[in-house]
Structure 1
Amino acid sequence: MRIAPHALTAVAAISVALLAGRVYQPARAEEAPPLTAAQIASLEAQAFAAGGMPAGLTEPEAIPVQIRRGETFEQAVRRTGIAAEEASAVAATLSNAMDVSSMRAGQRFETAISKPRNGRGDARLIGLTMRTGPASQVTVSRSFDGALRLRALEEQVTHETVVLTGKVEGSLSRTARREGAPAGITRAAGRLFSHKLDMERDVRANDEFTYVFDRTVTENGRTIGSGELLYAELKGVVFYRFQPAGAKEAQYFDATGKNTRSAFMRTPLERGFRVSSSFGFRRHPIAGYRKMHQGIDFAAGMGTPVVAPADGVVVEARRWGGYGNWLRIRHPNGLESGYGHLSRYGSGIRAGQRVRQGQVVAYVGSTGASTGPHLHYEIWRNGQRINPAGVRTTEGTILAGSDLAAFRAEKARIDRIIAAGGQRRVQAPTMAGGLRPARAAEAAAPAAAEA
């Protein structure tokens, strides 16, 4: 009886141990997926913010800063509300990577600032970011111990050849922009199609289009550069970009190698317009009586670019009665074009100035006798006004010989890209532009006096 309680205890202990041995399984740690650069940057920003925001300060507020004329970087930082000694510490930290004294007016950077909750005292800088190149930036962040830490960041860059397809909804240019085409690409395509199509009458909703162009993007999806338009297709009209041997610039050809550039574009506007008044007799909107309208009116938004329909020389760029701001250009083959009610002229446009086809020469306005923003467009042939819609001119030449063979090779390359849906090439990150190599990667500076 004296031994029994001890025996029972021993049996219970042994049973528990055996049971635990059966049930217990060692814990297996699963490997966590690697963090992306964006996730790492976000976590670092949160950590720096948490470490650099002592009690009594508000959460950091993003404050954009631009250096003003006659202002130093340090003075610009002071405008965020931080103390002079802290602004000096920030400048000293950033000077490890770049020449702070050479910064000019217009330089922009972002700051994160915390302010005292009681409203008294100086604000405190939690972080500062300045872009040093299209895909590079430097940051100054406050670490856990209050020190200011400098880092240079370079994003990975990808060079893409994009195949963009879509259906027209509204206008072609707006649709293409919504689909991701850069402004320069939409303008280039608009100029090309204007050689073959009346962009107001011929293009309809649900018409399919395809653009092929180069662009450069960062790993965060930000476009930092766009190349040339390589291919464009709309309503069966096709353009391939190709530069013949000896040519000063690339041109556009159809699938057979015929230069599709006409000597005269169908309209002087590339986008965002409609024909509000045709050539012929009409009731004048201001005078109220029937009168011959010796041009075409295009209703368009104020400031819409007006382009030269062909190469030529500016004859007039002046104020002219009811036409308001007036422009007249002389072209080959006895043709002249005129533009009325302009808001302003293009850069460098004056009498005697040579212009190229597709060059922006003016902007839509409502000057002179006008009821609203529009472009009055006239064409003369040998001194007589004619209907601009009836102008017909010859087209370019057809490639032959070695140029034709080279064009076919380039066409086949572009066709392969279209069939593959595009292509991309990743460029490894490099040293942030403008940084001092010896100290660019990472540096720390002591905290400001109040830290």
Structure 2
Amino acid sequence: MRIAPHALTAVAAISVALLAGRVYQPAQAEEAPPLSAAEIAHLEARAFAVAGSPEGLGAPEAIPVQIRRGETFEQAVRRTGIAPEEASAVAATLSNAMDVTSIPAGQRFETAIAKPRGGRGDARLIGLTMRTGPASQLTVSRSFDGALRLRALEEKVTHETVVLGGKVEGSLTRTARREGAPAAVARAAARLFSHKFDLERDIRASDEFRYVFDRTVTESGRTIDTGDLLYAELKGVSFYRFQRPGSDKVEYFDATGKNTRSAFMRTPLERGFRVSSSFGFRRHPISGYRRMHQGIDFAAGMGTPVIAPADGVVVEARRWGGYGNWLRIRHSNGLESGYGHLSRYASGMRPGQRVRQGQVVAYVGSTGASTGPHLHYELWRRGQRINPAGVRTEEGTVLAGSELAAFRAEKARIDRIIAAGGERKTQQPAMTAGLRPART
């Protein structure tokens, strides 16, 4: 009993010492992880929101600006309604990263402007963003104390080889676009397949397709560049992109090295059409008499592009009676193609103009004796009209020797990409030409 109080005192003393040690032990600060581009953008948006409603001013309004011919950057900023001295301060801030006197006419930038609530006085710039490259931009924003702050953002870019596929639902081109194919890739594939198929009648729902193409995307997922179509497959027919050594021309070949480019495409339209009248005898929709229809009518929307089915030379581009606006092209092997009821011609279409296969030469219309927008398409062989649906022409060349060996190596590379489901290569951002590091 005499020892117990002393023991309790000792325990209490030790406890206090331990607690004191914990209380007065120096705090260990942990290093914060670096922010991603998306997190930085989110914080910037929050800062704009907080700083964007100064006393007497309304909420910031997004105002796009484009520099006009003969106008300086500072003058363009002043058109947003801010005071001249503030426009000068913005220009001075931006000049820490670039030469504002050399910004060309046509350059666009976005501003966030807060206007006075009473409608009197100058507006205030809350933020400004100018894109200086495909993956770079400069931002001028206000800090919480009202000072202007400059920041340069360079996003990482990723070079991808995309393998995209699916089943046709509706038209091939629209389905490919829905699946994520860029417009240029979808059009290029449709043009290739038009050598083998009538895309409106031969392609059915659930037919499978697959495309391989290159593209470059930023960290935020924005596509800044799209490369060529490398591979296209539809209903068992496949094309591989190949450029022969020493040639500047891109061609497409099947798996055996045979050029898939036929001498004549099946139709002069790529998409959005149907056959409304075939070659042969029919009752004329205007006269009501039964007579020979010496071509094929394709019902299509006004302005649908008409393409040349083969290389050739324009012979006629003029008004011709019931045909309305008429175009005739001379091809090889004694063939000529004719197009009626056009709304207009493509740029440069005049007699003597050379055209290449797949080139847009005119646009669907309803001129002349026509009951609605459609294309009347004729084919002539040595001066005699023939049924366009019955034309059969030879295929292109077949690779051999060193060209065939080079093609097989490229085909093997593309096949490996398809088997892997695509490729990705990330590239670190580089300083955009003409810019210097931003000082904040």
Fold-level similarity (TM above 0.5): yes
In the TM superposition, 1:38-437 aligns within 5 A as 38-51=38-51, 53-435=53-435, 437=436
Residues 104 and 248 of structure 1: CA distance in aligned 2, closer, same or farther (over 3 Å): closer
Contact 1:48 1:144 (8 Å CA) reproduced: no
Alpha-carbon distance in 2 for matches of 1:355, 1:113? 51
Q: Determine helix, strand or coil for the equivalent of 2:112.
A: strand
For residues 325-374 of structure 1, the C-alpha deviation after alignment (integer angstroms, 9 at most, x for no partner) is 22111000000011122222223222101111111111222222222222
Give the residue type in structure 2 aligned to 1:281. Answer: F
Contact 2:56 2:117 (8 Å CA) reproduced: yes
Q: Determine helix, strand or coil for the equivalent of 2:68.
A: coil
After TM superposition, the structure 1 stretch with the greater mean CA deviation from structure 2, 72-81 or 120-129, is 72-81
Residues 305 and 128 of structure 1: CA distance in aligned 2, closer, same or farther (over 3 Å): same
Contact 2:52 2:59 (8 Å CA) reproduced: no
Alpha-carbon distance in 2 for matches of 1:323, 1:104? 48
Alpha-carbon distance in 2 for matches of 1:420, 1:293? 52
Residues 367 and 70 of structure 1: CA distance in aligned 2, closer, same or farther (over 3 Å): farther
Q: Determine helix, strand or coil for the equivalent of 1:442.
A: coil
After TM superposition, the structure 1 stretch with the greater mean CA deviation from structure 2, 60-69 or 410-419, is 60-69
Q: Please state how far the C-alpha of 1:296 moved relative to its aligned partner.
A: 1.2
Give the residue type in structure 2 aligned to 1:275. Answer: V
Whether 1:443 and 2:407 are equivalent positions in the alignment is no
Give the residue type in structure 2 aligned to 1:262. Answer: S
RMSD: 2.7
Alpha-carbon distance in 2 for matches of 1:442, 1:189? 44
Alpha-carbon distance in 2 for matches of 1:31, 1:141? 26
Q: Determine helix, strand or coil for the equivalent of 1:361.
A: strand
Residues 323 and 107 of structure 1: CA distance in aligned 2, closer, same or farther (over 3 Å): farther
Q: Determine helix, strand or coil for the equivalent of 2:389.
A: helix
Contact 1:278 1:293 (8 Å CA) reproduced: yes
Q: Determine helix, strand or coil for the equivalent of 2:339.
A: strand
Give the residue type in structure 2 aligned to 1:419. Answer: A
Residues 201 and 29 of structure 1: CA distance in aligned 2, closer, same or farther (over 3 Å): farther
After TM superposition, the structure 1 stretch with the greater mean CA deviation from structure 2, 27-36 or 186-195, is 27-36
Q: Please state how far the C-alpha of 1:306 moved relative to its aligned partner.
A: 1.4
TM-score normalised per structure 2? 0.90
Contact 2:52 2:114 (8 Å CA) reproduced: no
Identity between Structure 1 and Structure 2 (%): 81
Alpha-carbon distance in 2 for matches of 1:31, 1:290? 88
Contact 1:63 1:112 (8 Å CA) reproduced: yes
Q: Please state how far the C-alpha of 1:428 moved relative to its aligned partner.
A: 0.9
Q: Determine helix, strand or coil for the equivalent of 1:256.
A: coil
After TM superposition, the structure 1 stretch with the greater mean CA deviation from structure 2, 294-303 or 169-178, is 294-303
For residues 7-48 of structure 1, the C-alpha deviation after alignment (integer angstroms, 9 at most, x for no partner) is 9xx98x959x69x97xx9999999876532111122033224
Alpha-carbon distance in 1 for matches of 2:152, 2:417? 36
> How many corresponding residue pairs?
431
Residues 103 and 326 of structure 1: CA distance in aligned 2, closer, same or farther (over 3 Å): farther
Alpha-carbon distance in 2 for matches of 1:309, 1:31? 65
Give the residue type in structure 2 aligned to 1:380. Answer: W
Alpha-carbon distance in 2 for matches of 1:264, 1:280? 21
For residues 273-319 of structure 1, the C-alpha deviation after alignment (integer angstroms, 9 at most, x for no partner) is 11122112222222333232211111222222211111100111122
Structure with greater contact order relative to length (CA < 8 Å, sep ≥ 6) = 1
For residues 202-226 of structure 1, the C-alpha deviation after alignment (integer angstroms, 9 at most, x for no partner) is 1011111000011111111111111
After TM superposition, the structure 1 stretch with the greater mean CA deviation from structure 2, 140-149 or 208-217, is 140-149
Q: Determine helix, strand or coil for the equivalent of 2:439.
A: strand
Contact 1:149 1:442 (8 Å CA) reproduced: no
